[in-house]
Amino acid sequence: MRVLGIETSCDETGVALFDSKRGLVADALYSQVAMHADYGGVVPELASRDHTRRLLPLIQQVLDEAGLTRTDLDAIAYTAGPGLVGALMVGASTAHGMARALGIPVLGVHHMEGHLLAPMIEDEPPAFPFVALLVSGGHTQLVDVQGIGRYRLLGESVDDAAGEAFDKAAKMLGLDYPGGPLIARLAEQGDPKRLRFPRPMTDRPGLDFSFSGLKTHTLTATRQLEAAGDLDEQARADIARAFEEAVVDTLVIKCRRALDQTGLKRLVVAGGVSANARLRERLARETDKRGARAYYPRGRFCTDNGAMIAYAGAQRLLAGEHDELGIMQAVPRWPLASLAAPAGT
């Protein structure tokens, strides 16, 4: 089955073609980061308009790369949520319009299920079951994954997601959006011994996260150094290092607890923050200690992309799932745990 995947949940327009026999055939991505950087974050109306401009040319680009035409498609998958409702509607309406014209099935896919299954595209995919850490700008969750659609939420952020906290800390330090890569780059120059920030909710049992207090601590430290006239470039790097270390330690501690609690030996890490080098290094050490292994999507599939939607959609389309034509899905809030396993699996 050849499935076209469309991702338009936020600020990346992603398109990919997945073949159930050949694997990932082609993919393309357009990032709106430069456009939103001027505003310090995503502007929903601008995001929707840009998806409208970029989506059809990207679809044609992917088909050309694959050496196929639209009539060679067997199905279309699109991100139905969670995300910005206007952005979601661009992908949903395009997918349904194409599917109706071509007479093929179409399916709305859960964005976080796409992230969770992204490592399955790689040459050495993880086997079920595994623990998944989904860590991005909008979500920080630990999930017990027994199979597609068999998800048990172990813990999640009670306030800011880790990626959101990175963006806000970056803004405090005068860095552009998105903040994660810029904080990481600045932290490389930081002194790890100068400052130590709290590791939120690690002093109590449980697998939930909270990053709002860490954000406040970062703001306080920044203002104190500024008031003392000591907020130079080195101080900013030291703050970035302390902040990154606190987030990474928190995520690692919770992953360790999740593996111990479930007894599982496989950890999938996905979402934009999964690209953080310090996080990968620390998780590698922790999983090695436990005879476990961490799995990641390749770098360009850590952030939002069409490949993960094409793959996740293909698994459910092959099981017979599809939308009713003309009934589009655009769900801004959609709990991952509400998904069901494909019928007959």
DSSP 75-113: EEEEEEESS-HHHHHHHHHHHHHHHHHHT--EEEEEHHH
The amino acid sitting at 70 is: R
pLDDT band at 113 (very low <50, low <70, confident <90, very high): very high
Reply yes or no on whether the pLDDT at 344 is more than 80. no
Which residues sit in the known binding site? 111, 115, 134-138, 167, 180, 276, 304
The pLDDT score that the predictor gives to residue 88 is 98
pLDDT band at 137 (very low <50, low <70, confident <90, very high): confident
The pLDDT score that the predictor gives to residue 40 is 86
Mean pLDDT (whole number) for 241-255: 98
Establish whether domains 2-117+301-338 and 128-296 are of one fold: yes
Mean pLDDT (whole number) for 64-79: 98
Q: Are 99 and 322 in contact (CB under 8 A)?
A: no
Which residues sit in the known binding site for substrate? 134-138, 167, 180, 276
In order, the DSSP letters of 312-325 are HHHHHHHTT--PPT
More confident residue, 90 or 38: 90
The pLDDT score that the predictor gives to residue 325 is 81
Segment (H or E) for 60: helix 44-66
Q: Give the residue extent of every domain in the chain.
A: 2-117+301-338, 128-296
Q: Give CA–CA dist 56/74, Å, rounded.
A: 18
- pLDDT tens-place string over residues 141-155: 999 999 999 999 999
Q: Give CA–CA dist 293/180, Å, rounded.
A: 24
Reply yes or no on whether the pLDDT at 343 is more than 90. no
Domain 2-117+301-338 falls in which CATH fold? Nucleotidyltransferase; domain 5 (3.30.420)
Mean pLDDT (whole number) for 41-60: 97
How do 2-7 and 12-19 pair as beta strands?
Answer: antiparallel
Q: Give CA–CA dist 200/278, Å, rounded.
A: 18
**pLDDT, the chain, mean:** 96
Question: Could you tell me the two tokens for 131?
Answer: 């623990």
Question: Could you tell me the two tokens for 256?
Answer: 């360790």
- pLDDT tens-place string over residues 193-245: 999 999 999 999 999 999 999 999 999 999 999 999 999 999 999 999 999 99
Question: For residue 311, what are the contacts with CB-CB under 8 A and spacing of at least 6?
Answer: 5, 18, 24, 114, 117, 118, 120, 121
In order, the DSSP letters of 218-235 are HHHHHHHHHHTT---HHH
Mean pLDDT (whole number) for 9-20: 97
Q: Which of 11, 5, 29 is nearest to 86 (CA)?
A: 11
Reported for 37-46, long-range contacts at CB under 8 A and 24+ positions apart, including other chains, are: 37/176, 37/177, 39/177, 40/171, 40/176, 40/177, 41/167, 41/177, 42/10, 42/11, 42/84, 44/84, 44/86, 44/87, 45/86
How far CA 297 is from CA of 103, 155, 180, 233, 320, in Å, comes to 32, 22, 18, 34, 26
**Phi, psi angle pair for 153, to nearest 5°:** -70, 125
Measured from the Cβ of residue 204, the count of other Cβ atoms closer than 10 Å reads 7
Which residues sit in the known binding site for Fe cation? 111, 115, 304
Mean pLDDT (whole number) for 99-122: 97
Return the CATH architecture of domain 128-296: 2-Layer Sandwich (3.30)
How do 130-135 and 266-270 pair as beta strands?
Answer: parallel
Q: Are 316 and 109 in contact (CB under 8 A)?
A: yes
